[in-house]
């Protein structure tokens, strides 16, 4: 039974819109894949908001829906139901030409397979030029932008090389330059460090952070690598096609005057008020199907049902 103390704060007259000012808003997002008679629910009501300028890591077990989420945000795949907005674009209601414009100008996408991002017979400079030519950018501006981006990403001296003449890390840097060519507001990266060794992976991740901080591009990066996810201020964990928890990290100064990073884990509550209680907590207190929920002055408690 829910107990209600008398001194409850009055609820606001109108609840604020979910994800109001955020750049990316996914609400109750569903993606069902149908293969013959088999139906796979890759996303099962996922909620996510990302503010402009944020860098967010998305983590989760294999098959949890991370790539599906990124493909939807990239405009490559379309959701089955729910709400997904990026900037001013409603991803559930886009014409073909909207989708082309969205993919060309609003989001940049970097795939997991480094080689899959690049054209084997083009040089780095030509590849960065390609999306700008599609966007009808004048030649002089294209040239300047390609030089600027390749320099910023540390591959300026390799501008005339083809992918086969570049290492995995260099290929990934070029792929990021290509993704940023048309100045998108959002950069999406699906396991960008998955095929790289630890040192190269840390360097590429450093590049993504620079892109976020120096260019102000909002970055969403899917990763399996805890060393990578541990370096961003916010990590979102997906389980079974839903956002299950978030870790927020902030810098603080401890009692000895040393700087340290404090990481705090939060459960994610959906609009209907559903929260997933972690298995360790359930097992520790033998919480089973029915629990006692009580509203206290500043928190809600969940207790074992002793009835």
Q: Using CB under 6 A as the criterion, which residues of the chain lie in contact with ligand ATP when the complex forms?
A: 33, 35, 40, 42, 60, 62-68
Smallest distance from ligand ATP to CB 112, Å: 8
Cα-trace Rg, the chain:
22
**Minimum CB separation from ligand ATP for residue 277, in Å?**
22
Compare residues 131 and 241 and give the one whose CB is closer to ligand ATP.
Answer: 241
Q: Which is nearer to ligand ATP, 43 or 159 (CB)?
A: 43
CB of 264 to ligand ATP, least distance (A): 24
Helix (H, G, I), strand (E, B) or coil at 214: helix
Specify the 3-state DSSP secondary structure of 79.
Answer: coil
Q: Smallest gap, in angstroms, from Cβ of residue 190 to ligand ATP?
A: 8
Residue with tokens 């939807």: 72
Cα(233)–Cα(279) distance, rounded to whole angstroms? 25
Nearest to 91 by CA among 136, 142, 48, 139: 48
Q: Which residue has the tokens 């979102």?
A: 236
Nearer to ligand ATP, 63 or 226 (CB): 63
Q: What count of other Cβ atoms lies within 10 Å of the Cβ of residue 115?
A: 14
Could you tell me if 243 and 26 are in contact, meaning their C-beta atoms sit under 8 angstroms apart?
no
Within 10 A of 268 (CB to CB), how many other CB atoms are there?
Answer: 18
Of 29 and 180, which has the nearer Cβ to ligand ATP? 29
Nearer to ligand ATP, 65 or 131 (CB): 65
- Min dist CB 64 to ligand ATP, Å, is 4
């Amino acid at each position: 039974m829910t107990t209600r103390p008398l001194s409850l704060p009055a609820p606001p007259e109108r609840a604020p819109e979910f994800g109001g000012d955020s750049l990316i808003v996914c609400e109750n997002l569903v993606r069902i894949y149908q293969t013959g008679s088999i139906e796979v629910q890759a996303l099962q009501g996922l909620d996510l908001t990302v503010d402009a300028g944020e860098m967010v890591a998305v983590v989760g077990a294999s098959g949890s829906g991370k790539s599906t989420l990124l493909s939807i945000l990239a405009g490559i795949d379309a959701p089955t139901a729910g709400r997904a907005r990026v900037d001013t674009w409603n991803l559930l209601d886009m014409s073909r030409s909207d989708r082309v414009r969205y993919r060309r100008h609003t989001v940049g996408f970097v795939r997991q397979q480094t080689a899959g991002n690049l054209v084997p017979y083009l040089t780095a400079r030509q590849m960065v030029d390609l999306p700008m030519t599609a966007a009808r950018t004048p030649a002089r501006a294209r040239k300047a932008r390609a030089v600027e981006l390749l320099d910023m990403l540390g591959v300026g001296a390799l501008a005339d090389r083809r992918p086969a003449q570049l290492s995995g890390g260099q290929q990934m840097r070029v792929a990021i330059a290509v993704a940023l060519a048309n100045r998108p507001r959002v950069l999406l990266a699906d396991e960008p460090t998955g095929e790289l060794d630890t040192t190269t992976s840390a360097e590429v991740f450093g590049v993504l952070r620079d892109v976020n901080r120096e260019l102000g591009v909002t970055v969403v990066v899917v990763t399996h690598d805890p060393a990578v996810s541990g370096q961003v201020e916010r990590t979102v964990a997906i389980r079974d096609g839903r956002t299950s928890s978030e870790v927020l990290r902030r810098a603080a100064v401890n009692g000895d005057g040393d700087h340290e990073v404090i990481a705090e884990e939060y459960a994610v509550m959906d609009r209907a008020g559903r929260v997933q209680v972690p298995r360790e907590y359930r097992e520790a207190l033998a919480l089973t199907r029915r629990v006692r929920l009580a509203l206290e002055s500043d928190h809600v408690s969940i207790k074992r049902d002793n009835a």
